[in-house]
């Protein structure tokens, strides 16, 4: 369902994501969390849940 929103400004969340695969020191030590994205433009989909959002992310809540 999310793939239909490519190119649109959307808000969504991943409930209990595994953060171990995200290459960022911000998430170091976290195993799972609810991650909420607001006002993000989905440009593409890759192999990780948030690939394609890095350049357009305006707000991130954990």
Domain residue ranges in the chain: 9-60
| Structure tokens that stand for 2 in this block | 């999310």
Core vs surface per residue 32-62: b (16+ CB within 10 A) or e: eeebebeebbbeeeeeebbebbeeeeeeeee
pTM for the full predicted model? 0.32
Rounded to a whole number of angstroms, the CA Rg of the chain reads 11
The predicted pLDDT at position 31 comes to: 61
The predicted pLDDT at position 12 comes to: 61
The predicted pLDDT at position 40 comes to: 62
Per-residue tens of pLDDT for the chain, all 62 residues: 455 555 556 666 666 555 555 666 666 666 666 666 666 666 655 565 555 555 555 555 55
The predicted pLDDT at position 56 comes to: 52
């Amino acid at each position: 369902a999310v793939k239909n929103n490519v190119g649109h400004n959307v808000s969504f969340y991943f409930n209990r994501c595994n953060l171990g695969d995200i290459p960022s020191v911000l998430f170091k030590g976290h195993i799972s969390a609810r991650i909420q994205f607001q006002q993000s433009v989905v440009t593409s989909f890759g192999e990780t849940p948030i690939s394609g959002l890095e350049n357009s992310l305006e707000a991130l809540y954990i």
